[in-house]
A and B are shown apart, each in its own frame.
Chain A
């Protein structure tokens, strides 16, 4: 039977994994190998995708992909241990039973030199040499938390797979010579998403001095899969078992000495969140790096495993390609595995002759025939068998964790068939209500009162000091008016980011992706796109970068194109400024309608793109659902401080500069004479040239034009510029509500700010960046025109 035919709660064993290419490899890397047991937990509210339990973790998969996987129902019941039929002879080291006491192997510790080469004993790396550590691990296993502990940095940590999208560099505290690079989370060294490519390229090409591999101890089987591949690279490596506190708290444990003995690398139990075991980890990491202690084991196949088919195949390839590997500086064991898996990049790098390529193919075909599995499945199976042999000897499985039980209960509501969508709407509604009508507005009023008081005090002081009118005007009308008008919106922005970070840190963001996948697929997107899109309500820059977690270029491009339609927090000042002035009793509704218009236009554009530029289906939805966790106050506060700091930096840089420039241009004419009427200023004359284009929208005022142009630098400046240009003029006497609404729609949809455009350029290239800016201006003009004529 097919996997999609399973009933909820039913457990079956995988017999074959169909499909092709990198998706199939990804599925195998995630543990979907023949022989593994899989249990169907539930379907998403719209019937697709499905949530599965495999190797003690939850994975989502669409029905279309599930159809490719054959399973056999053997009347199995859901068990903790998912792999069965493992050959116990897989480890060539002395047999260990669970009661054996293994003396501490002391790997990575002073006084022990475990490298066999004589140079290593006598010649540790010079103490002045910079040590570079790569911090690698699966997604959502606590890498960034550990990075922050190691370096004292303040990188954002989330409870969503793929928070880190590009590598970050820091210096280990107390060790200025030791540099550490936080890499995006990866499941294996077979690149599937672009973030995985970043990590793989770094580890393979940049050759760090050593690797710190962090694994989630509560989900160790799947995590060790990457560990084995990293060990194959032959780079000195230390293994950090994170979440050990959680594992022990639920009655489980790991026999660290035994694991260290079996893997041949130092193994350190830690809790990155509680900063436990981190110092010990640093000591070991520094030691293995200085003495270049490489993993003692790189060979995970065994001559007795299924007649030794995989073992003979890998070793034959290692001999065949040895000289090429040396020339290409690729470890031969790693290269052999990748060649069997059909990794084109490795094959290209090795520059094999035609004859060697043919020999290689023959060896692999022989292995497939003897092993009874195709090449990719055989390698994945070999690794998982070794992992199982290790974990069987070293891991005492916990009872179902409290966190998991709690997650299951919460998920009954938040991903339940009838409750998921109402919950989503309710939660998002609450977020916007609290931000824009209650808490946020209360804080904003407080902020406004403070700024007003400060402006008044400064104004009085300047008058008392007999400051010249021009300088007085520059400070009060230019700087205070410009910066102050924007600063007042700081509370709203911090509030929205607070709620978005809560959604992410708790693990709900991943559920939103699961629930909305089917809906988004109709628009040509994948469920994972919902995360960048939701972040887009905060700021387009991180949102565009978050799109890197999407596994296909098509989905990524399409998501990036749609992100600017999600109204970012920088536009809130514009909405609030006009909504309170023109629609005082319906300000909340006007703001809500603008968000809705952004979403609707985004949907229309998505449908057009799906039928034109981005034909075809979005890529499969394979994602891990993390347990719900309570967000750490420190983490949330850190994020809020970061956002507030970023906003304040903008206010006191871009907006400060823009305010002075605008003040100068509107106060002087081309003869550098102060003007009494702003209509005679330089600004009025230049902006007047563009104004006719906006006549049909009723926005042909030069002041509006100036504000819109300045908005390209940062959206907040639109309001500060308007504030400076209109001064004490009552806006309601100049514009009608229809024209103002058209202006708001234009501001909502027109070109993203320069930072967002630069990020798009970095991600997609100049052509796309320019194309998006121009296209959005056209769309904005058209939609604003529709508002006017309707």
Chain B
């Protein structure tokens, strides 16, 4: 695997973990509810 492939894979995996972490944190904060109906997110707190 060449350097550019490793860099790209690192970026994708980094994104994967950041997005996953933020998603789980948001789900926990909203107790599983969705922010479908609220734009500011304040109603999900």
**B4 with A758: CB separation less than 8 A:** no
User: A574 on the interface (CB 8 Å rule)?
Assistant: no
Return chain A residues, CB-CB under 8 Å to B32.
754-755, 757-758, 761-762
CB distance from A543 to the nearest CB of B (A): 9
**Could you say which of B5, B19, B39, B42 contacts A471, with CB atoms under 8 Å apart?**
B5
Indicate whether A474 sits within 8 Å of B39 (C-beta atoms), given known contacts A466-B2, A761-B32.
no
| A635 CB → nearest B CB, Å | 12
Interface size of A by Cβ–Cβ distance < 8 Å?
40
Given A541-B34, A653-B23, A657-B19, verify A154-B40 contact (CB < 8 Å).
Answer: yes
CB-CB contacts of A737-759 with B at 8 A, as 1s and 0s?
A: 00000000000000000111111
Interchain CA distance A169-B41 in the complex, whole Å = 10
A296 CB contacts on chain B under 8 angstroms: none
Once A153-B42, A541-B33, A754-B32 are accepted as A-B contacts, the answer to whether A657 and B5 lie under 8 Å apart by CB is: no
Other-chain residue from B4, B23, B33, B38 in contact with A168 (beta carbon distance below 8 A): B38
Question: Looking across the interface, which residue of chain A has its beta carbon closest to that of B8?
Answer: A471
- Min distance, Cβ B35 to any Cβ of chain A, angstroms: 7
Q: Does A156 sit at the interface, judged by CB under 8 A?
A: yes
Check B12 against A759 for contact (C-beta < 8 Å).
Answer: no
B12 surroundings in chain A (CB, below 8 A): 471, 474-475, 479, 660
Q: Which of A170, A539, A652 contacts B40 (CB 8 A)?
A: A170
Contact B8 A170 (CB under 8 A): no
Which residue on B lies nearest to A762, using beta carbons?
Answer: B33
CB neighbours of B42 from chain A (8 A): 153, 168-170
Task: Count A/B pairs, Cβ under 8 Å.
Answer: 88
A377 on the B face (CB < 8 A) = no
C-alpha spacing A145/B9, complex, angstroms: 47
- Proximity bits, B3-17, A CB within 8 Å = 1, else 0: 011001100100110
Q: How far is the CA of A759 from the CA of B31 in the complex (A)?
A: 9
Given that A168-B42, A657-B23 are contacting pairs, would A468 and B2 also be in contact in the complex, using a CB cutoff of 8 Å? yes
A216-249 interface mask toward B, CB cutoff 8 Å, 1 = contact, 0 = none? 0000000000000000000000000000000000
A514 at the interface (CB under 8 A from B): no
Question: Is B33 a contact partner of A759 (Cβ separation < 8 A)?
Answer: yes
* Cβ distance A610 to chain B, nearest Cβ, rounded Å: 28
Q: Are A652 and B19 in contact (CB under 8 A)?
A: yes
Inter-chain contact B39/A541, CB cutoff 8 Å = no
A638 at interface by CB-CB < 8 Å: yes
A528 to chain B, nearest CB (A): 18
* Partner of A539 from B5, B16, B36 at Cβ < 8 Å: B36
A479 contacts across to B, CB distance below 8 A: 12
Partner of B37 from the list A545, A656, A761 (CB cut-off 8 Å) is A545
The closest CB in chain B to the CB of A643 belongs to: B36
At the interface, yes or no: A467 with Cβ under 8 Å from chain B? yes
CA A155 to CA B42, docked complex, whole Å = 10
B23 contacts which chain A residues (CB < 8 A)? 653-654, 657
Cβ of B36 and Cβ of A542 under 8 Å apart?
A: yes
Shortest CB distance A768–B (Å):
14
Chain B min CB distance to A728 (Å): 22
> In the bound complex, how far is the Cα of B11 from the Cα of A474, in angstroms?
12
Encode contact with B along A139-161: 1 for CB under 8 Å, 0 otherwise.
00000000000000111100000
Q: How far is the CB of A195 from chain B (nearest CB, A)?
A: 13
Say whether A168 contacts B36, CB under 8 Å.
Answer: no
A569 CA / B26 CA spacing, docked (Å): 23
Cβ-neighbour of A156 out of B15, B31, B35, B37 (below 8 A): B37
Q: Can you name the residue of chain B whose Cβ is closest to the Cβ of A164?
A: B43
Question: B43: which A residues are within 8 A, CB to CB?
Answer: 166-168
CB pair B5–A468 under 8 Å, yes or no, is yes
Q: Is A657's CB under 8 angstroms from B2's CB? A: no
Complex Cα–Cα for A444 and B2 (A): 38
Q: Which 7 pairs from chain A and chain B are nearest by CB?
A: A758-B32, A755-B34, A542-B37, A541-B36, A468-B5, A642-B39, A154-B39
Partner-A contacts on B (CB < 8 A): 1-2, 4-5, 8-9, 12, 15-16, 19-20, 22-23, 31-40, 42-43, 45
15 contacts between A and B (CB under 8 A): A155-B38, A156-B39, A168-B40, A169-B42, A466-B4, A468-B5, A471-B8, A479-B12, A539-B36, A542-B37, A653-B19, A657-B20, A757-B32, A758-B32, A758-B34
Known: A156-B38, A542-B37, A646-B36; 10 extra A-B contacts, CB below 8 A, are A156-B39, A166-B43, A467-B4, A470-B1, A471-B12, A657-B16, A657-B19, A657-B23, A755-B36, A759-B34
